[in-house]
Amino acid sequence: MALQQSTQGARTAGLQQAAFQPLQQEVFANLQHAPFYKGLLKPFKGKGELDQLAEQCRSLEANLNTLAQERILAQAQRFPFTLLPIRMTHQHTSAGPVFLRWQQSGTRKMGVGLWADLCRHDLVTETLLQDLHAMELQRIALNMQISLVHAIERQANECAEKMAQATAVYTERLQQIIQSRGEDAASQQEA
């Protein structure tokens, strides 16, 4: 019944006005991602630079999650989408990132199959279908961006730790060499 009301409402709204507005390029420009890419492709000289890259990734991921929450989910939680038997939600994963998912209302069942089933429903109008398609494309792209940034952050952290370990081994051995030279010089002076 709610789906029927939603599709009737969508018909009267007309095909020109969509209920869902996808993100535009200017929204991403505010995330300042250009310096991030320049910072990724350079010769890293130590742990500090990798820590800085990881921090940039954390910040970018947080900004993408805010974008998902304030721009995508905010729209998905308005009419006519509130009348649908599925809803878009955000899901925290055990690895850390937060992704957008489709969830059946009133249950824990999740997945893109719910979205596909809804799109195939005879009562879904062309306008609503267009909105659902735009939402799904936006969800897929944003999830990919969050995943990539999180993976780069994780790799930068791992690389920073490995560089710190390599520097510790180097420093320890260098100190042994310097100490050995000092002992050799002292014994030569005694002789």
Predicted confidence (pLDDT) per residue in 144-191, tens digit: 999 999 999 999 999 999 999 999 999 999 999 999 888 877 777 776
How would you classify the pairing of strands 86-92 and 98-104?
A: antiparallel
pTM beyond 0.85: no
What residues contact residue 86 under an 8 Å CB cut-off, 6+ apart?
102, 103, 104, 105, 114, 115, 118
Residue 85, pLDDT score:
94
Q: Whole-angstrom Cα distance, residue 125 to residue 10?
A: 7
Of residues 106 and 9, more confidence is placed in 106
Residue 164, pLDDT score:
93
- Kindly state the average pLDDT of the residues 49-71: 92
Percent of the chain with pLDDT over 70: 84
- Report the range of poorest mean pLDDT among 7-11, 64-68, 94-98, 99-103: 7-11
Of residues 37 and 97, more confidence is placed in 97
Helix or strand run (H / E) with residue 26: helix 25-29
Q: Whole-angstrom Cα distance, residue 63 to residue 56?
A: 10
- Report the range of poorest mean pLDDT among 28-37, 41-50, 92-101, 130-139: 28-37
Surface-to-core class of residue 138, CB atoms within 10 Å of its CB (0-12 exposed, 13-18 middle, 19+ buried): buried
Tens of pLDDT, residue by residue over 65-96, are 999 999 999 999 999 999 999 999 999 888 88
pLDDT > 60? residue 31: yes
Residue 37, pLDDT score:
65
pLDDT > 50? residue 14: no
Residue 12, pLDDT score:
46
